[in-house]
Amino acid sequence: METNGYEYQVYRNFSVQHYSALLVFTIIVIWLIIKGPKLDTVWRIRIFKILSLIPLFALLLRLILDHFSRGLNVQDDLPLHLCRILAVMAPLMVYLNSSKIIKIYIYIALAGTLNAMITADPGFGFPHYEYFLYWIYHGGIILVALFAWTVMKVRLNMASGLLAFLSINVYFVFVHLINVWLSSNYMYSRHKPPVTTLMDHLGEWPVYLFWLEGIALILLAVIFFLEKLIFGKVLRK
């Protein structure tokens, strides 16, 4: 793959560059989860604030670099994909310091962003800037959620999971209307993405949308189950 006169590897999921990014992300997550609880409250809050800025910074930097390298357009570059909205919301969530918003964010980030890492679509492969920034802002979103959940000890409940599911659906309808207006495909409401994803096994439009609804409910239930299984035992000790 060539851009601006330079050659880059074509990005492929389940390749060395995919596994390498997941490995680095996993190491960072494990390190933060182990070290985080040992910090005092002041440092936990500081790190939480810093982490919340990382996905937004990476997203803005990608848009700036995209503007100069290929130009931006409303069909592809508005911050309407779920992961981009989560990147924008992260520092706002920390600033507002609302436990209800943080709980909903954790549910949506873990249920909605993990698929973007398992079946990633960075555009270009290593060492293009889109490759690095894609992983930084997607990984950053999950880091923020995991840090809030495990280190800041935000406890989840079923009501927040249901609110997260309702929020995603309301937002999806809003985005679909924009897609119809702009002939865009944010959140893939009009057709599947061009790369290999889970949607390839879920039928054609609109069948895959209903399957995604069911999968979202299952993932939210799994997160709630893990909350009770892991942290419920910790609280009972």
Residue 220 one-letter amino acid: L
pLDDT, one tens digit per residue, over 102-156 is: 999 999 999 888 878 887 888 788 888 889 999 999 999 999 999 999 999 999 9
pLDDT above 90 for 181: yes
For the whole model, what pTM was predicted? 0.89
C-alpha 44/C-alpha 36 separation (Å) is 7
Burial 202-229 (b: 16+ CB within 10 A, else e): beeeeebbeebeebbeebbeebbeebee
The three-class DSSP label of residue 16 is helix
pLDDT above 50 for 235: no
pLDDT, one tens digit per residue, over 213-223 is: 898 899 999 99
Place of tokens 């990984």: 139
pLDDT, one tens digit per residue, over 17-35 is: 889 999 999 999 999 888 8
pLDDT, one tens digit per residue, over 81-106 is: 999 999 999 999 998 888 899 999 99
Instruction: State which H helix or E strand residue 107 sits in.
Output: helix 99-118
C-alpha 10/C-alpha 193 separation (Å) is 17
